[in-house]
Structure 1
């Protein structure tokens, strides 16, 4: 099927909606805890479905959850609808196999009634329809109901043909990697309410292993959440224009309330009217906040341009 289905238009539409989707994901990571509950685990929103093996996908998330993910891992797209009887037979089989796949592939479930452009992009004449996606392109597909054994054989053949093309996929018979006990201990502290202890653990791991992206990301996210929650939300309205500390605090509050553009603009405003150490401090803080997001986010790209203009 490679090259037979043009997903370009669908990707462009998803890109146009991606900013809002990413804001929602960031909100889930950084929302303040309610009633004393622990803040969400840093470093990214938790995987959906069966340990991340089953994902509900929409037109807004198709680019990130299917096309981008397929660069690292085989994605099976399950096109279904509530009224489709055969879909209700096939979907549980696919979900069960995905849960048993140990990371060799992931199932992306798409309701064609709610997401008609995706069905059009795949030229779906009937459902259920299952499409295998690798490196952003369809590589195989089938329509109708198949047995568990038939599907397992079909997926196995695809994975064998792909070989080492997908670096993030584990072979179907591979043993899952054991969790790092240090990361587990840090997560346990976080979930138990010992935020400072969890932060200390994440920092220690990141310092000992500079290439440990997960620990560094967890530390950055937790540092931000704890710092932002310590500010009085009224600082957004009360911060004096010349008070650098107050303006940086206001930016934290704005970002915690899912207003990244406003937060970035607040700091860029400080950069414009300061010099020396104050300007350096504001610029450094802004760069730190950028690291909480995908660098390709439109609002991050726009803020970087504004910062460059403010500096030069």
Structure 2
């Protein structure tokens, strides 16, 4: 694997791209989608790059004809993007279908994954990896980005469904202020904006989830991951130490690990400490969403631990 830090070199030069034909359809080499992936076409490429101003975009370049193995990498990235819940958007680029984009990006070979942060590209990896190794690599990247203050999230898209010509799923304008704050790295303002929405409508599930995630980002700002894990290992029943690592696991995409850590903590503790652990876990459930199968499983495990 070839992994490099986000050195933010020059922005993508699109001047060499030809205009798209008006009747161009979606790329025929589509590998399937998720809520946080999009099949790249000439029409939505620019807007996808621009969305990296909110949160990173990973462009996965592949070719079904020249290197079939590269399709598997692209598909795995799309699958994993759901686990990371908007920390990055995967742009799936079939270079046979959109060769102009590969030329504009000066792609030397495939497979290739390029990370775009704030509109600027940096090569991320050039090998086909087993999905577990790919998950680990992405976790490391997300943790590096979080430590650097890059903490925005993409809005989910209709999985496998159509998007607009600009590549974006429609966003409810009520959440624009909070999303803008996240995109600008102003976590405190995002918390305040989501709180306003929830105060106005306590039944707003999306605002509740957004508030829970913004508070998670707020709690983990500036936290050293290695030190937090060491503290948790040294004090397995310390609620503050364990909940902090659970928060960091959430940020890294290890949602089930975060849930399991706190379920085990609930099982080992009693009284106020048990209640604190339970309340924190319920907050993480809210950040992920009550319809998520991992949350449903987590609730079952929590009930078992309590009773």
TM-score by length of 1: 0.47
Q: Over alpha carbons, which structure has the higher Rg? A: 1
TM-score by length of 2: 0.48
